[in-house]
Each structure stands twice: as C-alpha cells, then as structure tokens.
Structure 1
Amino acid sequence: MHYQRSLIHCVQGIASEGGRRSVIRLKRALEWLPGKTKTYAHQWFFMAACIYAILMVPLAMLARHGYGPAVLAAPTVHAFEMLFGFVLALITGYLLGPMPKNQLLLFLLLWLLARVLGVIAIADWLALISNAVFVALLAWHLLPRLWVAKKWRNRTLVPLLGLICSLTVVIALIGQFDDYRLQRTLLGESVQLFALLMLFMGGRMLAPAVAGEFYRQGMELEARVQPQIEAGLIVTLTAAFLLASVPTLSGVMLIIGGLLAAIRLIRWQLWHCLARPDLICLGVGYGWLALGLLSLGWVKLTGSDHLGTAVHVITVGALGTLAANVMVRVTLLQVKQYPSRIPQIVIMTGIMAIAAIARISADLSLYREMFLAIAAVAWSMSFLLCLYVIFDCQTRVLSRKSL
C-alpha cells in the first residue's frame, strides 16, 4: 500500500507538471495571436520591409523586359513603391514602438494590401484608399507623441512626417489621373524630405553611439548631436524643398546642406572607432547622404541631365545602407546582442556600396543594362543578408520563450 500511494503521488505530480507546462505553452502561443498583448512594431515591419526590398527591385528590372508586373516598368510606380512603400515600412517599424498586436496587425494588413494592389494594378482606387488609411493611422499614432518634444529641432519631425504622409496620398491620387509629369516631379522633390529624415535620425543614432565608444577608450567626444549644424540642415533642406520651382536656389541650399552633413560627419571622428565596424558602416551611409545632397544640388544648380543619377546616390547609397544598418542594429540591441560582433553588417554595407556604384555607373556607361542588373542583384543580396540576421534574432527570441 505504501508503494502504491507513492506511485499515485508520483503520477499525479507528473500529470500536474505536464499540465502546468501545457498551460504555459498555450499561454505563450496565445500571446503571439492578435490581442491586447503588445509587441514592438519593428519585429513585424522590419521583416516585411526586407522581403519587400528583396523582391521589388528585381521585379522592376524584369518588368522593364516584359517578364514582371507590367505596372512596375513605369519609373513613377517603382519610385513610389520604394519611397512610400518600403521607406514608410521602415518609419513604422522604427518609430511606432510597442503596441497591441491587434492594432499592429491592422497596420501591417493595410500596408500589405496597398503594396499588393499597387503592384497588380487591378484596383487602383482600393490601393489609394489602403495607402490613405495606413498613413492616416500612422500619423494619428505618431505625431501627437512627437509633438511633446521641447526643442523645436525635435518638433520638426512632426511637420516632416506629416508632409510625407500627406504626399503619399497626393502622389497616389495624381497617379489616378495619369498626370505622370507632376507625379514624377513630386516624387523627385520628396527625396529631399527623406534625406532630411535620414540626416535627423542618423545623427541621433550615430552621435551617442560614437560618444559611448570614445568614453570606452577614455576619451571624450565634444561634437555630438551638433545642434547648430543640425538646425542648419533642417533650414537648408526645408528651403530646398520649398524652392523647388527655382532650381538654382534649391541647388544652392542642397549644396550647403551636403557640406554641413559632411562637416558633421567629420567632426564625429569615426577614425577613432575602427574597432566598431557597426559605427563605421553607419558613417558610410551618412557619407553617401552627404555626397547625394552635393550631387543633387550640383545637378539642380547647373541644369545637368543626371538628376536621376544624383537621386540614386541618395536612394541606393544612403537609404539602402542606412536602412539595412538601422534594421539590423535595432533588432540586435532589442535581443541584447552587440552589433559590433556581427560580421554581416560589414558585408551587407559593402554589397550595398556595389549596388550604389553600379546604379550610378548605369547612367554614365554604354553598358547600362549590365550595370542595372548588377545593382539590382547587389541590392537584393544586401537585404537578404539583413533579413537573415533579423530572422535569426527572432527565432532565438522564440526559442528562449519556449524554454
């Protein structure tokens, strides 16, 4: 009888332990379903942005030769999807922060619906409505939160993001009326707004990280955010956008902005951070941005025919490099890993540099199609590597939670 009672207690203990584990596993599974539990927006939107970036550029290349979605053969559609599709996904993931999963799922579904409808081009008005609802919700969640900043330089994010969200709807609406000339003009000028956003956010990410590396080495970085230069960047790029109808003045403002960005980058003294390849790679992206502003300003000032080339210095060199690095950096820090120990950051930055150089060379060479193909493959390879790092981090988080 004693052994029987011991056996019964043992079986009950095993059963209760198994039941407890089952309940815990069920609870963790339910947490990943849409509900009141919160998750970080970047966990979903960075992965979606990477997949979209990997697919869109090769699809656009194939469309030009009659093998992909025909709508992507139009430069305006390709530009719109990359700026107001891909980049808005990055903005959402970076700035939205933690929120209930059911709300985040709504954001993601609206973004996906707008992207799919925009590519298959069978319901243009539904694509317009999806874009409009998505950016309206994004502005409603972000702008009041950003407006509480005390300094005017920080508050400039509110009108900047508000204007970007508004342009999403305006440009999509103009596309419904087939006014491709106006649509192309607005797309070209909107690049300056995204450049200003990259200058602001890139500086706010680089400055404290470089200062921390200086502190680790027993030094002090005096030039951190550099508020005077940042204010100058805000003023010059805003003026360049507002003076778009006067190309020479707009070009002068862009050149001044490019010089200010270069000075700001030099004053961070990244040559003292060679042990931190992640910071060097962020600096490379910021350098592409300064070069792009100088190039775009020179083209506008001189009336050169290479406007598209200058734009791609910003959209491929700067945007591609900074986007990949920021997504990887934010993801790694979220799971408490050090970006400086991830060799993929250097590799994807180098591959993106090949993409940028090839895209620029395509406009300056007789072998245009070859260089365009190289640029498309390199762009996708860089974001494929970025996706690998993000996916690896997410699976590690899930495996830890399941233990």
Structure 2
Amino acid sequence: MTTPAANKESAAPGPYGSPWLRLAFRPFYLGAALLAAVIVPLWVAVFLGAINWQPTPPPLLWHAHEMLFGFAIAVIVGFLMTAGKSWTGLATPRGPALGWLFALWLSARVASLVAPYAVFAVLDLALLPLVGLIFLRLLVRSRNWRNVPLALILWLLTLVNLSFHLSVNGMIDLNPMRSLHAALGFVVIIECVMAGRVVPFFTTSALPKLKIVALPWLDRVALAATVIGMALWVTDGHSGLTSAALTLAFALNLVRQWRWHPLATLGRPILWILHAAHLWLILGLGLLALAQAGLVSASLGVHALGVGATGGLILGMMTRTARGHTGRPLTAEAPEMAVYVLIMLAALLRVLLPLLAPSLYVSGLVASAAAWSAAFLIYLWQYTPWLLSARADGKDG
C-alpha cells in the first residue's frame, strides 16, 4: 500500500525538454566561458597591433563593455535565474523561453563584432530589463523581499548600459568609460552581497568544526562603505574623501573575510578559490584608494576587481553550482584545480607584475591573457558535456 506522499512523488513529472535549456546556468555559463576564452586574447592582439581589426565600438570600449555586459552579465543572469528557482520555489524560464533569452544575449555579442552600431545597441539593451522583470516577478509572487535589490540592480545596470551607448554616439556629454566604471561598481556590489552570503555558508558546510558567528552589522557597514567608495570613485568625487571611503571599505571587508577563516580552506580548492577571489576584491578597493593619491594607476585596481575578483568568483561559482546542479560531487578535481591556479596567475600577471616590474608590462599582459583564456578553455573542456546532458542523478534541472 502506497502513502499519499509516495503517490505524489510518483505522479510528479520527470525531466523533460532539451537538457541544456532546463536551467539558465547551462546556456549562460557555456556562453560566458566561450566569450571569456576568446575576447581577452583577441583584445590583446588588437591592442598590441598584431591584428588590424575594428569592432563596432572603439576597441578599448568594446573590450571593457564586453567583459562587463557580455561576460559578467551572462554569469549573473545564469546564476540568478537558477538560484531564483531555489529561493522562490517557482519555475524560472526553461525550454524555448530560456533559448530566446540566451539567443538575445548571443546576438548582441555577435553584433558587437560585425553589425552597425544601432543594431548592436538595441540588441545589447534588451536582455537585462527582461531578466529584471522576470526575476522581480518571481520575488514578488513568493514575497522574497530580501532579494528585490538584486532585481533593481539589473535595471540600474540597464540605465548604465544605455548611458554608455548614448555617450559613445555623442548623444550625451559623458565619458563612456565613466559608465563602464559604474557597471563595474554594480558588479562589485553584487559580489560583496553574494560573497557575504555564500562564502561563510560554504565554508562552515564543508568544515563543520569551524564556527563563524554572523555579524549582520559588519556585513551592512562593509557593504555601505563599498557602495559609497565605489560611487565616489565613479563620480570622480573629492580625491581625499574617495580615498578615505575606499580605505574604509578595504579594511572592513578584510576584517569580514578574516572572520571567515580563509586559512582553514587551503586544503579545499573549491573553497579557497572563493576566499582568494574575495581577497582580490579587497585588494582592488585598496589599489583604487592608492590611485586617488597618485601612488598607483587606477587601471591596477580595475583589473584587480575585474580579473582577480570577478574572474575568480565567477569560476569558483561556475564550477561549484554547475557540479551541484548537474548532480555531481562538490569537489575539485585536477581540471578545476588547474582552472583556479590559472585565473589567480592571470590576476597576478595583470596586476602585480606591472606594479613590481613596469618594464615587463607587455610580457605580463600577454601571459595574463593566455592564463585567463586557458582557464576558461579548461572549464569548457570539463563542463560542456555536463551542461549539455541530463543530470547525473536523473533529476530535473
């Protein structure tokens, strides 16, 4: 005799549809990894004059824009549209609906290379407001008010992207790089919020003997200092005030991370990559503070945040969540360890080598691009078969 629970379980629909369109992390992680592997060495080749090629926007702006609104946004969309299902208990886009969202992202990336600027801009501006609306609807229906600010950030990023396209075409009097710095600021804010949630949680889950006492006030103050510091930097505020705010953000985030026991994770690569990437976020804030006094180039802080923090956190989360959502153990094997080492090497070569040995800038740039690209190529080699096929445990998703 079966119980009602057993009847309900047996009546539940099994996996259906194309596996790679069952959850958003599948197509968007693949697209982001492929884009990252290709565009960084392409940009370096253009920058060094090895390739005579002109993308739709000017090359420097194209590089920075695609790293943010192409690469980082793809991972953010894939993560939020996947996590949103767990957070709300409601269905997120799958099948054809998910396919159209991914096609919209992909078409904008292609358009940035070959299409007239107007076509690129329209396609590029379409995705984020759609995803923001879908995500907000899920949160409101489930009364998940805690994550509503993340949906609002998606719309703020849309406005930032619009300002970028308008400024590139001379329709508003604004340096396009200012818009890209604002986008980086929003990405850093998302990273601060999500790191504060997942890094201590993952750490204590894997190392149950550790005790991390939550201090919500510290998280809030560290986030506030980061928001204020990045906002002053983006708006070109008073250099002394900006430096003070960024230094405070640096210190508070460092204290916060120390309380997460980073040294205890050294034997767990799938954990230490998240701690190492968050340390790059802290270093990036510190370098931006030093840049206000003219002690270092602001570019070093930007790339500490872009390569070390964003690249490291993205690969740490792309490996962990992809393993979990494809029904595989949450462990790092040889490919993952290679990926983690390479992305950290890319950051060291791009940020610390120019700082310590400026004469090696070009060599470091080329080596950093190679390490970055290799990290994402290894990810694609390991994860593409998993992301295109059904879960190993036979479950849906």
Normalising by structure 1, report the TM-score. Answer: 0.83
1:149 aligns with 2:144: yes
1:59 aligns with 2:51: no
- Closer/same/farther in 2, CA of residues 374 and 253 from structure 1, 3 Å limit: same
Query: Counterpart amino acid of 1:214?
Result: L
1:49 shift after superposition: 0.3
1:356 aligns with 2:347: yes
1:157 shift after superposition: 2.3
Per-residue CA deviations over 1:62-117 (Å, capped at 9, x if unaligned) read: 22215164237622221011011111101110001242311111111111111111
Residue 340 of structure 1 aligns to a residue in which SS?
coil
- Pick aligned residue for 2:23 from 28, 37, 40: 40
Match of 1:292 in 2: 284
Match of 1:177 in 2: 170
Residue range with higher mean Cα deviation, 59-68 or 281-290: 59-68
Match of 1:236 in 2: 225
Equivalent residues of 2:222, 2:253 under 8 A apart: yes
CA distance in 1, matches of 2:45, 2:197: 38
Q: Greater RCO between the two (CA within 8 Å, min separation 6)?
A: 2
Equivalent residues of 1:131, 1:169 under 8 A apart: no
Match of 1:222 in 2: 212
CA distance in 1, matches of 2:52, 2:74: 23
Residue 70 of structure 1 aligns to a residue in which SS?
coil
1:161 aligns with 2:161: no
1:114 aligns with 2:114: no
Equivalent residues of 1:69, 1:119 under 8 A apart: no
CA distance in 2, matches of 1:190, 1:107: 21
- Structure 1 residue runs of 5 or longer lacking an equivalent are 1-26
Query: Counterpart amino acid of 1:60?
Result: W
Question: Which structure has the larger Rg over C-alpha atoms?
Answer: 1
CA distance in 1, matches of 2:265, 2:363: 36
1:344 shift after superposition: 2.5
Equivalent residues of 1:61, 1:73 under 8 A apart: no
* Identical pairs, percent: 21
1:40 shift after superposition: 0.4
Residue 156 of structure 1 aligns to a residue in which SS?
helix
CA distance in 2, matches of 1:31, 1:76: 39
1:341 shift after superposition: 4.1
1:342 shift after superposition: 2.1
Match of 1:74 in 2: 59
Equivalent residues of 2:229, 2:249 under 8 A apart: no
Give 1 or 2: higher helix fraction: 1
CA distance in 2, matches of 1:355, 1:253: 28
1:259 aligns with 2:222: no
Residue 22 of structure 2 aligns to a residue in which SS?
strand
Match of 1:5 in 2: none
Per-residue CA deviations over 1:372-398 (Å, capped at 9, x if unaligned) read: 110110000011122223214235637
Query: Counterpart amino acid of 1:67?
Result: I
CA distance in 1, matches of 2:105, 2:194: 22
- Closer/same/farther in 2, CA of residues 322 and 242 from structure 1, 3 Å limit: closer
Q: What aligned pairs does 1:226-375 form with structure 2 within 5 A after superposition? A: 226-243=215-232, 244-246=235-237, 247-300=239-292, 302-304=293-295, 306-360=297-351, 361-362=353-354, 364-375=357-368
Residue 289 of structure 1 aligns to a residue in which SS?
helix
Query: Counterpart amino acid of 2:36?
Result: A
1:129 shift after superposition: 0.7
- Structure 2 residue runs of 5 or longer lacking an equivalent are 1-13, 83-91
1:53 shift after superposition: 0.2
Residue range with higher mean Cα deviation, 228-237 or 177-186: 177-186
Per-residue CA deviations over 1:291-314 (Å, capped at 9, x if unaligned) read: 1111112212x1445011111011
Match of 2:81 in 1: 96
Per-residue CA deviations over 1:295-335 (Å, capped at 9, x if unaligned) read: 112212x1445011111011011111111111111000112
- Closer/same/farther in 2, CA of residues 392 and 339 from structure 1, 3 Å limit: farther
Residue 82 of structure 1 aligns to a residue in which SS?
helix
